[in-house]
């Protein structure tokens, strides 16, 4: 699903010109529906004691402030550039588990300074 955002060129209240801009985002999810697996995703989040965990979420909406955000059903928001690193499609559970375990292992590495 492709989302677009457009703003016309205007002038700010102090007279500074604001340029026109267009931006598009090709979202792999269909937001706002609980039907099927089109909006289901796996999200990596930090648990109670700092350990990373995986949770199944629904993408409820996509919004644009100054960057594209995915809004989940539990209130979390993820940047759109995090798809594939923190937010995964429903079929990519193995990849999500692998990245989560890898990041948890990296946190346990202690560095001694000599």
Could you report the per-residue pLDDT of 73-102, keeping only the tens digit for each?
Answer: 989 999 999 999 999 999 999 999 999 989
Mean pLDDT of the chain: 88
Whether the pLDDT of residue 72 is over 70: the answer is yes
Could you report the per-residue pLDDT of 13-31, keeping only the tens digit for each?
Answer: 998 998 998 999 999 998 8
Q: Per the structure block, which two tokens stand in for 104? A: 């948890």
Q: How far does the chain reach from its first CA to its final CA, in angstroms? A: 53
Quick count: other Cβ atoms within 10 Å of Cβ 34? 10
Taking a C-beta distance cutoff of 8 angstroms, is the pair 77, 70 a contact?
Answer: yes
Specify the pLDDT at position 50.
Answer: 82
């Amino acid at each position: 699903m492709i989302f677009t955002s457009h703003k016309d060129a205007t002038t700010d209240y102090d007279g500074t010109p604001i340029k026109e801009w267009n931006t598009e985002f090709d979202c792999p999810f269909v937001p706002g529906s609980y039907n099927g697996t089109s909006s289901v995703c796996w999200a990596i989040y930090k648990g109670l004691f700092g350990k990373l965990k995986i949770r199944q979420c629904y993408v409820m909406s996509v919004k644009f402030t100054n960057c594209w955000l995915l809004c989940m059903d539990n209130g979390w928001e993820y940047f759109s550039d995090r798809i594939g690193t923190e937010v995964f499609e429903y079929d990519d559970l193995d990849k999500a588990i692998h990245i989560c375990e890898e990041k948890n292992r990296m946190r346990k590495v202690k560095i001694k300074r000599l």
